[in-house]
Structure 1
């Protein structure tokens, strides 16, 4: 509490007057002879005691009446925390944190949350001195550091403020505003205007502020709107071919308080609706929806998964996806000395393919392997290579680790020591010699177990009507390498009837290796003559050339990092939005991989084109961060506690009933000026005086009665 006329408080010295009068104005009672009514002396003594108590009560009432009168003329005012921090006047510098995250698009009876927040901010800026400084900090789409602005410039930027993606935690924005205020060197205050979205407040990392500036939280909105969102789209099929189904799983989330039934989800590819499904979503839960599409052309295909359900936040009802059906698969066939590769080359030849499968095959002898740039090829096929130098071993290992595919066929003249060294480099198992005999008349084994769940065998075998199991050809095998799996990431795709692996997958780094324990000619098995050979060879090539991992998660409004193996040298990478916005990055090369960092990253969701030079390009899907779809707010008092814990500084809550500039000005003025209490003290003084008169009257009446007695 403060006083508008503090000098009047000097009159409080007048409160001493009743005390002095009481202490020095004694009236000694006179002794009067009376009759022998001795019993009246006891009654007289009790009456005197009551009289003394009432005299002290009169003293107290007179002092309180004088004090209240003096306080009333001093004009006391109760000030809130805002005025206490600001000294009862406008602040020389103001920090203004305005929430412009996607959740601020939600509307209620007073309009969009962002427009309400801007109205509150305008009211705050009206209270700033003309020469004062303003630190305007949006929570999304702003620079990493903020600088003080003149009030007029801050108003102009406030009017142009729009919703952006990639919002940071509210406590982080407050720290930036406080750092900005410290640049001004003046005392100030930080206002935070937000819808109090819970995911934007819950910052588990507490970072204490040095010399914290007082912070005032002003909530807008506050309702919990129903919202459905497509929070994830995953391509299940690892091999994507023209004319073959691609399986896609979409995850839907319901952030509302009530379940939603029969939600229609559609899959669009190249602008055409190709699949749809319905699902029921529990309140506050998720549901997975399976969809399938058949690419009808090669190249980069853009698609979307969309929920046809209107809600408060339509931006997250659609999620982009990109499918890549390669125009051509580049194969490097490395043929060993005296290796028999006729069946292999025939299966990959254009005459047999009839241009149905886009293979571009380059054949070299094993002597040329060391001088060949392997990164120019999607798959490297080693067919009967006899020996491998240490440089070639390191070259092949690095190629696979960076995401390449390696297909190994042994030959009759191979050096087991060289292959053992290669397998060690690839974190594979061991070769323990040869089982069986080449060109034998009696087979040693045949196909026994096939992992039909592996992507290599997807769409390769068809179960005929009435069949309980898939029928698989079982070609005879005359000789095979004795391979023992290691402790790395390995998997047997085809196993022989004698328990040995026939086709083994080895994962190394970001790439894959498929090891055949038989050669691609008739001396090892009759497989090259079977109808299974060509489609199985195609599927292994497709599998090895497919990306070994899903596209890196790119989130709108967040910095992006991409790792590209085949990035052209001396090219300037660019990320181009559907609207034509260009984001450039300077590549850094680590172990042959180009690392691209885009900061700032892509601003909006959608399909972006990554290009470098005239002939190299990719397409990438940029998504909305899943946490931005959860619109559920937190209670204002709980938000204050979260911010105080994260900042370890003072945070005060300020409610604005109607978020208009006029209302904000009125609330702030009341917080600064406070509530006048002079009338309260005046009424108290009058009350004490009335009570004093009543007590005085009763005292006189009792005194008269006592004297009469």
Structure 2
């Protein structure tokens, strides 16, 4: 029991007054003589005993009466928490991720939760509310009700610790506040589980919303499994949360045009193929029919038209036959020139430059190549066995590379860095027994910043790659090496050239960092934009030699195929899809949490909060007791003889 005015309890010392009054005998008895003295003495004794009992009973009732009056004025009350003289402050985190689209007993989890918030919150009470995409601070339900009713699903959910931190920052620092954080989510199983730190600053009330059915089928991913001159084969991968087999129709569109349709039998995982004759698909999408979550029933993609990469080979006396064969496809525009006939103005129009066994690199060429690489261009340096070391080190030094004089000894290229980006998806397995290319003369390295893609048997580098510079430590002519006779040369040079121009992939994932190149010459202050039917945005971009590198993370927010436009001209397309992690309807068991009460609905939690903060006033009972003691005293005085 607590008191609103505990200082009034000092008045209980007044109880000493009736005690003092009753202890002093203020009335004196006068003796009278009668004939039957013995009888009168007996009557006198009985009268005095009755008077003594009556006196103490009266004393007790008066003390209890006075005590009840004093306690009543102190206004006693009871409460589960020490919340008296405090103002409630409520912050609500509402998870609006795609998994909240699942159906509960009364409809979609998110939509039903919004309705319960509207039903249980006072329209004028101050609240703060945060979602994965929006923040409403120090507002009222009346002000944000329309926004809540129109709340859209978000492609990514905040990590639980980030959501707690973001929500807690909405609390004010004012003293005497009773703070409640209502955390509403389905609590999907994530890499980092939901946990609560013991914090007296606010009280957390988790509400776990559960769907009635966790069955869901989603399009997981898409890839090109094979590509020939006439056909392209698309591999579609599906996932299911169900335990039984299902037949799922799946369709392939280009815009509104249906290209193919099939049915897939799926239990846990499944895959299917579409073979296309089209080489270019601008608005592709894969669609399945599933009644559960809807966001993962469509996957957008596009197959871009082949983009030529400008390759420049600068040489003196070396043969370039193998380079001409490597870059003979339509993907590359190869230009070969002798050093003494080099037109420096064409360097800025290239994406990929090969220095093919130059004896020395003129300072003018070195300066041009340095500027070229700073603007995003890629350079491959292949030395001659008689190249001047100090001359080469001038250019190599900008990228942390230094070489020593050539060493004439046979070396075999035996180590492949399979994890290096240029060999990603090249090998089905790591080869441990194959014919190794060899060199007769090589340049040892003093320092080698960057990574070795290929190495000799003694782990010394054969091919070093650092940012935009790739350096072979040995000449590749047939007199010094047989590397050009091995198939390994094809993916090496092909992927080195391809990374100089990152063409858009089939699709990108919203919420992750994505980067791709658009080959274009922009006017001064020109920018590229991403557009679809409802959105027009300018992404982060950087202009290099004959290309623009576009980088996106959280934008765009809507999955679709977007046009990359230069003013009114469409120069390319790029596709974005939602992250599929929300498709996995597996949930965390919150019963393992200690110190909190987990609710199943908004109404239950608000009832709990009201119960915790409810104040039961007791002063009326003490007034009733005081009146009762007055009546008891009156009855004692009147009827107690």
TM-score tier, shorter chain, comes to 0.5 to 0.7
2-structure distance, mates of 1:5, 1:525: 97
**Partners of 2:99 and 2:582 within 8 A in 1:** no
**Partners of 2:302 and 2:575 within 8 A in 1:** no
**Partners of 2:240 and 2:267 within 8 A in 1:** no
Paired residue secondary structure (1:382):
strand
**Partners of 2:531 and 2:564 within 8 A in 1:** yes
Q: TM-score, normalised by structure 2?
A: 0.64
Q: 1:203 to 1:229 in 2, by over 3 A?
A: farther
**Partners of 2:94 and 2:130 within 8 A in 1:** yes
How many aligned positions are there? Answer: 601
State the shift of 1:102 in Å. 3.6
Q: 1:581 to 1:595 in 2, by over 3 A?
A: same
* Residue 536 of structure 2 is aligned to residue 540 of structure 1: no
Q: 1:140 to 1:76 in 2, by over 3 A?
A: same
1:574 counterpart residue number: 529
State the shift of 1:327 in Å. 0.7
State the shift of 1:508 in Å. 0.7
- 1:153 counterpart (143, 157, 162): 143
- 2:306 counterpart (314, 327, 332): 327
Paired residue secondary structure (2:443):
strand
1:137 counterpart residue number: 129
State the shift of 1:197 in Å. 3.5
**Partners of 1:77 and 1:673 within 8 A in 2:** no
- 1:385 counterpart (352, 358, 370): 358
1:484 counterpart residue number: 444
- 1:170 counterpart (163, 170, 173): 163
State the shift of 1:544 in Å. 1.1
- 2:110 counterpart (102, 109, 114): 114
State the shift of 1:482 in Å. 1.8
Q: TM-score, normalised by structure 1?
A: 0.59
2:256 counterpart residue number: none
**Partners of 1:242 and 1:297 within 8 A in 2:** no
**Partners of 1:267 and 1:304 within 8 A in 2:** no
**Partners of 1:140 and 1:165 within 8 A in 2:** no
**Partners of 2:527 and 2:538 within 8 A in 1:** yes
Q: 1:629 to 1:637 in 2, by over 3 A?
A: same
Q: 1:277 to 1:435 in 2, by over 3 A?
A: farther
What pairs up with 1:28-47 in 2 under 5 angstroms?
Answer: none
Q: 1:277 to 1:23 in 2, by over 3 A?
A: farther
Q: 1:592 to 1:599 in 2, by over 3 A?
A: same
Q: 1:480 to 1:656 in 2, by over 3 A?
A: closer
1-structure distance, mates of 2:367, 2:179: 61
1:439 counterpart residue number: none
State the shift of 1:601 in Å. 2.9
Q: 1:347 to 1:82 in 2, by over 3 A?
A: same
Q: 1:21 to 1:138 in 2, by over 3 A?
A: same
Q: 1:640 to 1:611 in 2, by over 3 A?
A: farther
* Residue 462 of structure 2 is aligned to residue 504 of structure 1: yes
Paired residue secondary structure (1:542):
helix
Paired residue secondary structure (1:659):
helix
2-structure distance, mates of 1:187, 1:235: 55
**Partners of 1:335 and 1:382 within 8 A in 2:** yes
2-structure distance, mates of 1:500, 1:679: 90
What pairs up with 1:435-454 in 2 under 5 angstroms?
Answer: 435=408, 449=414, 451=416
What pairs up with 1:395-406 in 2 under 5 angstroms?
Answer: 395-396=368-369, 404-406=377-379
- 1:100 counterpart (96, 120, 123): 96
Please provide the CA RMSD for this pair.
6.8
Structure 2, gaps ≥5 residues long: 31-48, 254-258
2-structure distance, mates of 1:23, 1:234: 99
